[in-house]
Copies of this chain bind each other. A is one copy, B any other.
Amino acid sequence: MRAAVYHGPRDVRVEDVPEPELDGPDDAIVRVTHTAVCGSDLWFYRGESDRDPGSTVGHEPMGIVEAVGEDVRSVAPGDRVFAPFKISCGSCEFCRTGLHTSCVESDGWGGDNGGAQGEKVRCPNADGTLVRVPDRYADDEDALRSLLPLTDVMGTGHHAIVSAGVDAGDTCVVVGDGAVGLCAVLAAHRRGASQIVAVGHHEDRLALAEEFGATDVVAERGEAAIDRVRELTGGGASHVAECVGAASSMEAAVEVCRPGGTVGYVGVPHGLDGGLDLFSFFGDNVTLRGGVAPVRAYAEELMADVLQGTLDPAPVFTKTVDLEHIEDGYRAMDEREAIKVLVEV
């Protein structure tokens, strides 16, 4: 089968690789029809994180179940499914409390399971991991395009907002105008926040933030951005979603957070070689809550809204490529030409 394979920085090629096969009674084989390139894929693409050359890549699979092991009960061959970026059992202590990313059997895509940027993946713990799309929408391309972000960025943006404690009527700030930040704006709007201040550096993305429900956008940088947010929020917001993971954005997040407030963070921490300066959090009792998003926990809830038509993250896909041309997708994201790239397989 064909799959994207990492060979080194800025060198992802589509090649023939062995097909994954059922290996246990809880496995499913999914024929991937849609997948995506993630902002976090750029870390290995840019050589900023390690990845073994020869690795299959991608972690946002959507497709059709092709085969299942004998113990799989929740999906059957022919079902339309998608899956989060992490594999989880669905039944351990952590899965049951909605923290699927800390599943005791946690696993990921790539390796023997195959990367999601390929024609097929093996999904261990299929009952716990795969989310079945109702048959009615199984071939509805618009619905599928709107559901695909639930594999990662929409669930992650939602986790930032949940972690920041945003509720109806609240004022919140979203730091970051990437796909996750934009999805956080959607999530804040969905939860009924009254004021949503989106902070970013790109006019086109901030325009999309406004479409998604941002009441204010801030394109200034550095101290000017912080001053502007404080002005807009009367001194800072009690709920701040940090959707980048860089040292500068984390610093901005705490600086626009009102004393006693909460920074919800979901960006993979990077560029924090010096670690996080805790003093700014400590002095004003700003809570830091969040982490790697348990997007599986949110899948049904968000899917219901997507299928109702009240939630639509599809506009984050500003470019579509087919699998054979996925490197063009990486390039477009690397050069910030695209917010997020959908890959048709």
Contact = CB atoms under 8 A, between A and B. Distances in A.
A194 interface: no
Interface string A80-112: 000000000000001001010110000000000
A292 interface: yes
A291 B276 CA distance: 15
A282 B286 contact: no
A99 B282 CA distance: 12
A331 interface: no
A80 to B, nearest CB: 30
Contact of A102 (B97, B102, B284, B294): B284
Nearest to A234: B93
A40 B294 CA distance: 39
A278 B272 contact: yes
Contacts of A275: 272, 274-278
B291 A102 contact: no
29 contacts: A94-B259, A94-B260, A97-B260, A99-B284, A99-B285, A102-B259, A102-B260, A102-B283, A102-B284, A265-B282, A269-B278, A269-B279, A272-B275, A274-B274, A274-B275, A275-B278, A276-B276, A276-B277, A281-B288, A281-B291, A282-B291, A283-B291, A283-B292, A284-B291, A285-B290, A285-B291, A286-B291, A287-B289, A289-B289
Given A99-B259, A275-B276, A285-B294, 13 more contacts: A94-B259, A99-B285, A268-B282, A275-B277, A275-B278, A281-B291, A282-B292, A283-B292, A284-B291, A285-B290, A285-B292, A287-B288, A287-B290
Interface in A281-313: 281-292, 294
Interface residues of A, number: 30
A288 B280 CA distance: 13
Nearest to A99: B260
Contacts of A265: 282
A249 to B, nearest CB: 13
B287 A287 contact: yes
Nearest to A159: B285
Give the residue among A260, A285, A292 with the most B Cβ atoms within 10 A. A285
A154 to B, nearest CB: 18
Contacts of A278: 269, 272, 275-276
Interface string A18-61: 00000000000000000000000000000000000000000000
A84 to B, nearest CB: 14
A291 B254 CA distance: 13
Nearest to A103: B259
A259 B101 CA distance: 9
A247 to B, nearest CB: 9
